[in-house]
Structure 1
Amino acid sequence: MSGTGTKKMLNMFILDILREYSDSEHRLLQQDIIDLLKSNYGMDCERRAVKIFYWAMHYGLNIEVLEPESMRECIQSACREIEKKYC
């Protein structure tokens, strides 16, 4: 993997591509995602990296993009649940 992007940002770039170019009626192939990563972000990516992301989503990885305020609320709620359970 090379280019202007970094390996750590790959999942965020893929999410951005899926949000912009796909929906329930317009699916993207792995190669489409790879091509869009190259053209939009200058990032070369192996098919395997896209496949791993796909299977993680397919088999239950719940990916939700939150606004900063919602994220703060989720973190606070999770902390409260941990305190209840362990304190």
Structure 2
Amino acid sequence: MGAAAVRVADGGVFTGVGLDKLHGAVALCQETGAFVQAYTRDRDVVASVCACRDLEHGRVLILPPWGISQEWLALWAPGSKWRPRARTTR
């Protein structure tokens, strides 16, 4: 379980949550709700952050965007400083 927030260009913040799920393949990440709120209100996202519990180690993790959230930032957040990293081959 975790929560996320995205900041939009006008200073507003939208939030979302990721609930524990039985089937990971159909789960949505924490940022989904926040990105959808910003998109449907025609707001430019400038930053995104996620927090989640690490029950195994008894701590809270603050995470940068990853996975689909990176794609959303690249597409819907023209003002953000985040850019996808080039893939490297080994």
Quick check: which one's strand share is greater? 2
Q: Give the TM-score taking structure 1 as reference length.
A: 0.29
Q: Which has the higher helix share?
A: 1
